[in-house]
Protein backbone atom coordinates (compact mmCIF):
# COMPACT_ATOMS: atom_id res chain seq x y z
CA UNK A 1 0.00 0.00 0.00
CA UNK A 2 1.30 3.48 -0.81
CA UNK A 3 0.76 6.32 1.68
CA UNK A 4 1.43 10.06 1.79
CA UNK A 5 2.04 12.23 4.82
CA UNK A 6 2.14 16.03 4.71
CA UNK A 7 3.82 18.08 7.40
CA UNK A 8 6.52 20.43 8.52
CA UNK A 9 10.22 19.62 8.34
CA UNK A 10 10.16 18.48 11.98
CA UNK A 11 7.11 16.22 11.52
CA UNK A 12 8.51 14.52 8.42
CA UNK A 13 11.90 14.06 10.10
CA UNK A 14 10.19 12.30 13.01
CA UNK A 15 8.49 9.88 10.62
CA UNK A 16 11.78 9.12 8.87
CA UNK A 17 13.53 8.46 12.19
CA UNK A 18 10.95 5.82 13.12
CA UNK A 19 10.12 3.72 10.06
CA UNK A 20 7.73 1.50 12.05
CA UNK A 21 4.22 2.87 12.60
CA UNK A 22 1.67 1.59 15.09
CA UNK A 23 -1.95 2.03 14.04
CA UNK A 24 -4.93 1.44 16.30
CA UNK A 25 -7.25 -1.15 14.81
CA UNK A 26 -11.05 -1.36 14.94
CA UNK A 27 -12.70 -2.04 18.27
CA UNK A 28 -13.27 -5.80 17.87
CA UNK A 29 -10.24 -6.57 15.73
CA UNK A 30 -6.55 -6.67 16.48
CA UNK A 31 -5.95 -3.68 18.83
CA UNK A 32 -2.68 -2.47 17.30
CA UNK A 33 -1.28 -3.06 13.84
CA UNK A 34 2.39 -2.45 13.05
CA UNK A 35 3.54 -1.23 9.65
CA UNK A 36 6.97 -0.63 8.19
CA UNK A 37 7.74 2.21 5.77
CA UNK A 38 9.99 1.48 2.79
CA UNK A 39 10.80 3.11 -0.56
CA UNK A 40 10.52 6.48 1.20
CA UNK A 41 10.68 9.71 -0.83
CA UNK A 42 10.40 13.24 0.53
CA UNK A 43 9.47 16.22 -1.63
CA UNK A 44 8.84 19.86 -0.82
CA UNK A 45 6.32 22.40 -2.02
CA UNK A 46 8.36 25.13 -3.77
CA UNK A 47 6.07 27.91 -2.53
CA UNK A 48 5.48 26.88 1.08
CA UNK A 49 7.24 25.11 3.92
CA UNK A 50 5.16 21.94 3.56
CA UNK A 51 6.87 18.64 2.94
CA UNK A 52 5.39 15.43 1.55
CA UNK A 53 6.61 11.97 2.45
CA UNK A 54 5.53 9.17 0.09
CA UNK A 55 6.25 5.58 1.06
CA UNK A 56 5.15 2.03 0.62
CA UNK A 57 3.62 0.47 3.70
CA UNK A 58 3.87 -3.19 4.67
CA UNK A 59 2.19 -4.80 7.67
CA UNK A 60 4.61 -6.48 10.05
CA UNK A 61 3.46 -9.98 10.86
CA UNK A 62 3.50 -11.02 14.51
CA UNK A 63 6.04 -13.72 15.26
CA UNK A 64 5.42 -16.19 18.06
CA UNK A 65 8.80 -16.73 19.75
CA UNK A 66 7.52 -19.72 21.80
CA UNK A 67 7.17 -22.05 18.77
Q: What is the pLDDT of residue 29?
A: 66
End-to-end Cα distance, the chain: 30
Q: What angle do CA 41, 43, 48 make, to 5 degrees?
A: 155
pTM above 0.75, yes or no: no
Could you tell me if 5 and 52 are in contact, meaning their C-beta atoms sit under 8 angstroms apart? yes
* 5-23 pLDDT tens trace: 899 889 888 888 887 888 7
3-state secondary structure of 42: strand
Q: Between residues 39 and 31, which one has the greater pLDDT?
A: 39
pLDDT classification of 66: cutoffs 50, 70, 90: very low
How many other CB atoms are there within 10 angstroms of residue 57's CB atom? 14
Q: What is the pLDDT of residue 37?
A: 87
Mean pLDDT of 61-65: 58
Amino acid sequence: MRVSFYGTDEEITRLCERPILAVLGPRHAQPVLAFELFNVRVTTDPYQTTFRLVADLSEIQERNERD
